[in-house]
């Protein structure tokens, strides 16, 4: 799925506007990183900004976590594929049919993004999921949804670095795992809870690392990115 040389770091562009987004992006290089556009930036700046990033040569992960009836999610994934994004995601809790429709919608497209599932949001604990009717450990639900995502033809899931080794073991090495919650040594932890360093996450088997503030809030973002890449090369 990935070669050792391809960029493994996805920078989370958690900005409010195009000017601040491009101020960062213009300091970066597509050979070193990929970019993630989430809900806030997309709602504010839309497909036009995504196209600008793609035209600059960057692979874009469109992190909109689609969750709706199968037909609607399939159409949204098709639209993302037409936009030329590299990765798009859907909530695995939308069910098998929704994920299969999403897969079918993009599989004949000329450009096929990686299709990734979201399992249990890391903001939810055992009590939170019990309140919505799931009386089980979040980790068990993560595994159940990751297996369902795999059976439904998805390429992988977003998960915490702590879940990586169990998921690779249960589902297989080719199942693509994308992990936020990554902090280089010495970086501010912020609101992240169960973190790993970039090299620990890659050693556990993570395929792509989503990193935001340790790079975007650094006074020299390119230097911060290169330091992380160097740390990862020494594993």
Span near ligand C5P by CB under 6 A; candidates 15-23, 24-32, 134-142, 207-215: 207-215
Q: Considering only residues 192, 197, 199, 204, which one is a binding residue for ligand C5P as defined by CB under 6 A? A: 192
Return the structure tokens found at 108.
Answer: 């004949």
Contact string 75-114 vs ligand C5P (x = CB under 6 A): ----------------------------------------
Return the structure tokens found at 138.
Answer: 């979040």
Query: Which residues in 158-187 contact ligand C5P (CB under 6 A)?
Result: 158, 180-181
Residue whose structure tokens are 């890449």: 229
Cβ atoms < 10 Å from Cβ of 91: 20
CA atoms within 13 A on the CB side of 142: 24
Options 18, 51, 56, 65, the catalytic residue: 65
**Cβ proximity of 181 and 161 under 8 Å:** yes
**Cβ proximity of 102 and 171 under 8 Å:** no
Span near ligand C5P by CB under 6 A; candidates 20-28, 53-61, 162-170, 210-218: 210-218
CB of 56 to ligand C5P, least distance (A): 20
CB of 111 to ligand C5P, least distance (A): 24
Q: How many residues in the chain?
A: 235
**Cβ proximity of 149 and 97 under 8 Å:** no
Binding site for ligand C5P (CB under 6 A): 12, 14, 38, 122, 158, 180-181, 190, 192, 210-213
Task: Cite the active site residues.
Answer: 65
């Amino acid at each position: 799925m990935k070669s050792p040389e391809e960029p493994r770091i996805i920078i989370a562009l958690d900005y409010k506007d195009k000017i601040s987004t491009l101020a960062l992006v213009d300091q970066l290089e597509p050979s070193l990183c990929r970019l993630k556009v989430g809900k806030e930036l997309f709602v504010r700046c839309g497909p036009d900004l995504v196209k600008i990033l793609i035209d600059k040569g960057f692979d874009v992960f469109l992190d909109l976590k689609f969750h709706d009836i199968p037909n609607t999610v399939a159409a949204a994934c098709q639209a993302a594929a037409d936009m030329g994004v590299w990765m798009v995601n859907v909530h695995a809790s939308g069910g098998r049919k929704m994920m299969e429709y999403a897969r079918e919608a993009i599989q004949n497209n000329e450009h096929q993004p990686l299709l990734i599932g979201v399992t249990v949001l890391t903001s939810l604990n055992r009590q939170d999921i019990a309140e919505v009717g799931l009386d089980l450990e979040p980790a068990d639900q993560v595994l159940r949804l990751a297996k369902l995502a795999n059976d439904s033809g998805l390429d992988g899931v977003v998960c915490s670095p702590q879940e990586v080794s169990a998921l690779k073991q249960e589902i297989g090495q080719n199942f693509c795992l994308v992990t936020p919650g990554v902090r280089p040594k010495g970086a501010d932890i912020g609101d992240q809870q169960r973190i790993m360093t970039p090299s620990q996450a890659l050693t556990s088997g993570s395929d792509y690392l989503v990193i935001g503030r340790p790079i975007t809030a650094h006074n020299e973002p390119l230097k911060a990115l290169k330091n992380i890449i160097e740390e990862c090369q020494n594993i």
